[in-house]
Chain A
Amino acid sequence: MSTAGGRVAGNDRLAHWVFIATTVVLCGWVLVPIWLLISNTLSTASEVNSFPKPVVPSLNTENIQFFLTFHGAGNALWNSIQVAFATMIMAISVGAPAGYALSRFDFRGKNAFRVLVLMTRAFPLPLLALPMAILFIRVGLDDTVIGLAIVHTTLALPFAVLITFSLFSGIPIELEEAAWTLGCNRLQAFRKVILPLVLPGLAASAIFAFVISWNEVFAAAVLTIEHRTLPAFLLQSLDDAPLHLKFAGGTMLVLPALIFIFLVRKYLFAMWGIANR
Chain B
Amino acid sequence: MNPRTLPYWLLAPALVFLCVFFLYPFSLVAWQAIATDEGVLTTQYLQRMASHWKFDRALTNTLLLTAAVVPIQLSLALLMATMVSKMNRGRDVVLYIWTIPLGISDLAAGLIWLAIFDQTGFLNSALFGLGMIEQPVTFLGYQNKTTIFVAVMLAEIWRATAIMLVILVAGIGLIPKEYNEAAEVFGAGRWKRFTKVTLPLLKPSLQTALVLRVILAFEVFAVVSALGGTNLPVLMGEVYDWQFKLQDSHIAASYALLILAISIAFTLLIMGLLRTPKGAQTT
Set of chain B residues within 8 Å of A31, measured between Cβ atoms: 97, 100
Q: Are B120 and A48 in contact (CB under 8 A)?
A: yes
Query: Is B59 at the interface (CB under 8 A from chain A)?
Result: no
Q: How far is the CA of A120 from the CA of B21 in the complex (A)?
A: 11
A117 shortest CB reach to chain B, Å: 7
Query: Is A131 at the interface (CB under 8 A from chain B)?
Result: yes
- Interface positions of B from 116 to 140, Cβ below 8 Å from A: 116, 118-120, 122, 124-125, 128-129, 136
Contact with B along A236-277 (1 / 0, CB 8 A): 001100010011011001100110111001001110110111
Q: Are A268 and B99 in contact (CB under 8 A)?
A: yes
**Selected contact of B97 from candidates A27, A37, A95, A250, CB within 8 Å:** A27
Q: Are A124 and B215 in contact (CB under 8 A)?
A: yes
Set of chain B residues within 8 Å of A254, measured between Cβ atoms: 104, 108, 112
B8 closest partner in A (C-beta): A107
Set of chain A residues within 8 Å of B28, measured between Cβ atoms: 131, 134-135
Q: Are B167 and A246 in contact (CB under 8 A)?
A: no
- Interface positions of B from 66 to 118, Cβ below 8 Å from A: 79-80, 83, 86-87, 92, 94-108, 111-116, 118
Number of A-B contacts (CB under 8 A): 271
- Interface positions of A from 117 to 140, Cβ below 8 Å from B: 117, 120-128, 130-135
Q: Are A22 and B83 in contact (CB under 8 A)?
A: yes
Which residues of A pack against B, CB within 8 Å?
19, 22-23, 26-27, 29-31, 33-34, 36-37, 40, 48-53, 93-95, 97-98, 100-102, 104-105, 107, 109-110, 113, 116-117, 120-128, 130-135, 150-151, 153-154, 157, 161, 186, 211, 214-218, 221-222, 231, 234-235, 238-239, 243, 246-247, 249-250, 253-254, 257-258, 260-262, 265, 268-270, 272-273, 275-277
B3 shortest CB reach to chain A, Å: 8
Contact flag A231-B107 (CB < 8 Å), given A33-B116, A37-B112, A154-B18 = yes
B9 shortest CB reach to chain A, Å: 8
Can you pick out 15 interface pairs between chain A and chain B where the beta carbons lie within 8 Å of each other? A53-B122, A107-B4, A116-B18, A123-B263, A124-B219, A130-B32, A131-B25, A217-B106, A218-B222, A218-B240, A221-B244, A257-B103, A258-B100, A265-B92, A273-B171
Which residues of B pack against A, CB within 8 Å?
1, 3-4, 6-8, 10-11, 13-15, 17-18, 21-22, 25-26, 28-29, 32, 79-80, 83, 86-87, 92, 94-108, 111-116, 118-120, 122, 124-125, 128-129, 136, 158, 166-167, 169-171, 173-174, 204-205, 208, 211-212, 215, 218-219, 221-222, 225-226, 229, 236, 239-240, 243-244, 249, 252-253, 256, 259-260, 263-264, 267, 283
Q: Are B111 and A250 in contact (CB under 8 A)?
A: yes
Set of chain B residues within 8 Å of A53, measured between Cβ atoms: 120, 122, 125
Q: Are A276 and B107 in contact (CB under 8 A)?
A: no
**Selected contact of B14 from candidates A50, A98, A276, CB within 8 Å:** A98
Q: Are B115 and A94 in contact (CB under 8 A)?
A: no
A160 shortest CB reach to chain B, Å: 9
Contact flag A261-B96 (CB < 8 Å), given A117-B18, A127-B239, A131-B28 = yes
Question: Helix, strand, loop or mixed for chain B's interface?
Answer: helix
Set of chain B residues within 8 Å of A124, measured between Cβ atoms: 215, 218-219, 236, 256, 259-260, 263
Set of chain A residues within 8 Å of B95, measured between Cβ atoms: 265
